[in-house]
Amino acid sequence: NEIYLNGLTGSVPRLPTDLTRLEELVERRLGPGPVGYVAGSAGSGSTAAANRAALDRRRIVPRMLRDVHQRDLSVEVLGRPLPAPLALAPVGVLSIMHPDAESAAARAAAAQGVPFVLSSASSTPMEQVAEAMGDAERWFQLYWARDREVTKSFLDRAKAAGFTALLVTLDTPLLAWRPRDLDQAYLPFLHGVGTANYFTDPAFQAGLAKPVHEDPDAAVMHFVGMFSDPAKTWPDLAFLRENWDGPIVLKGVLHPDDARLAADAGMDGVVVSNHGGRQVAGSVAAADALPRVAEAVGDRLTVLFDSGVRTGDDVFKALALGAQAVLLGRPYAYGLGLDGQSGVEHVIRCLLAEFDLTLALTGHARPGTVGSADLDLEQ
């Protein structure tokens, strides 16, 4: 409403309301290195393109003459009431976008009531981000370290800092082939960006020969060596289940059989995601995997979705394909790069306003009534 009313008085928003325009604007401001890292994806970009194509291919079939004058966007996800089916995805190294990095994004999420998922690879220690959020809903994303002590320490710290759910990212046992970063030699981790949670961690520090400040290069190499572990298998999840008593959600699940294994392992949910196309080039589009996963485990697990969401109608389509809520990645990072906390708030508000209007214009007063019947089956 506010955005429309401002329009009536001739007041132009500071940032475009079409969120697909943000990437170009932020690239002009911050240059190709940081924006290439955020915008880039694996290989030639075929998975990122497929993510968009799979959402675009689905078409909504609006229904008429249903009372939609009063709408309620709220949903319950993982046993928590949320004002809308949206959370901010874990995006690491946000200091390359803005000096206030994760704290600014987390404050924006808190101000809009949307959960913030903090990356293990954040530029700001988790305790500091938690403090910036007050009591607001926050979830912690785990890159599952090779070192058990560090993993355990992260879980304990996250719990103590008030993170309620744990998202374990499975699709990044190694960093993928990302030509934009390789060609520009822009790899933030190698410069120590995204190591804040590690460098402040007592279990991580215990593995160093010298304190971080005395030998930062060695600390970075120690981080690179233990960041993730390609030897992990399904039975290893028992360790996380034993050490985290809140909900655990596996992020990066695309195959229905993996979703079934997640349920069998006592997990609470999955995020159907291909990491925004940043890991496996030539991968199935996340939106094509979503209905198959929802069909396999929708009655046992919470099913979340990300990878390619840019508009309110994308959120609607994800719900119609079986998701309970979506995570948003790059657009909020661009909002942060352009205007800090208020840029992120702008992104959240535009997306939710457009989603609200999509609901109304398609005959829905709340997200819970959206389903596969709202999509054109021919597509």
Known catalytic residues?
275
CA distance 100 to 94: 8
Question: Which residue, 281 or 328, is less far from ligand FNR as judged by CB?
Answer: 328
Contact 60, 375 (CB under 8 A): yes
C-alpha dist (Å) from residue 135 to 127, 168, 245, 290: 13, 23, 19, 32
User: Which member of 109, 250, 259, 309 binds ligand FNR (CB under 6 A)?
Assistant: 309
Which backbone phi and psi does 59 adopt, to 5 degrees?
-125, 140
Assign residue 217 a region: left if phi > 0, alpha if psi is -120 to 50, beta otherwise?
alpha
**Helix axes of 286-297 and 256-264: crossing angle, nearest 10 degrees:** 40
**Pairing verdict, β 269-272 and 75-77:** unpaired
Segment contacting ligand FNR by CB under 6 A, of 211-219, 253-261, 300-308, 345-353? 300-308
Question: Which residue, 111 or 176, is less far from ligand FNR as judged by CB?
Answer: 176
HSE-CB of 248 using CA atoms within 13 angstroms: 23
CA distance 48 to 46: 6
Closest CA to 286 of 109, 41, 114: 41
Q: Residue 11 CB, nearest distance to ligand FNR (Å)?
A: 29
Question: Which residue, 140 or 297, is less far from ligand FNR as judged by CB?
Answer: 140
Question: Which residue, 116 or 320, is less far from ligand FNR as judged by CB?
Answer: 116
Binding residues among 88-147 for ligand FNR as defined by CB under 6 A? 89-92, 119, 121, 141
Question: Which residue, 39 or 364, is less far from ligand FNR as judged by CB?
Answer: 39
Binding residues among 45-64 for ligand FNR as defined by CB under 6 A? none
Question: Which residue, 77 or 89, is less far from ligand FNR as judged by CB?
Answer: 89
Looking at the DSSP bridge assignments, the partners of residue 248 are 166
Interaction mask 163-202, ligand FNR, x per CB under 6 A: ------x---------------------------------
Question: Which residue, 142 or 359, is less far from ligand FNR as judged by CB?
Answer: 142
CB atoms within 10 A of CB 246: 17
- Looking at residue 375, the DSSP 8-state letter turns out to be B
Task: With H, G, I as helix, E, B as strand and everything else as coil, classify residue 372.
Answer: helix
Closest CB to ligand FNR belongs to which residue? 329
Contact 22, 335 (CB under 8 A): yes
Q: Residue 122 CB, nearest distance to ligand FNR (Å)?
A: 8
Contact 319, 212 (CB under 8 A): no
Tokens of 299: 């009655």
Binding residues among 198-227 for ligand FNR as defined by CB under 6 A? none
Binding residues among 314-333 for ligand FNR as defined by CB under 6 A? 328-330, 333
The per-residue b/e assignment along 327-345, b for 16 or more CB within 10 angstroms, e otherwise, is: bbbbbbbbbbbbbbbbbbb
Q: Residue 280 CB, nearest distance to ligand FNR (Å)?
A: 13
Q: Residue 353 CB, nearest distance to ligand FNR (Å)?
A: 18
Asked if 34 interacts with ligand FNR (CB under 6 A), we say: no
Binding residues among 233-292 for ligand FNR as defined by CB under 6 A? 251, 273, 275-276, 278
Interface positions with ligand FNR (CB under 6 A) = 37-38, 89-92, 119, 121, 141, 169, 251, 273, 275-276, 278, 306-309, 328-330, 333
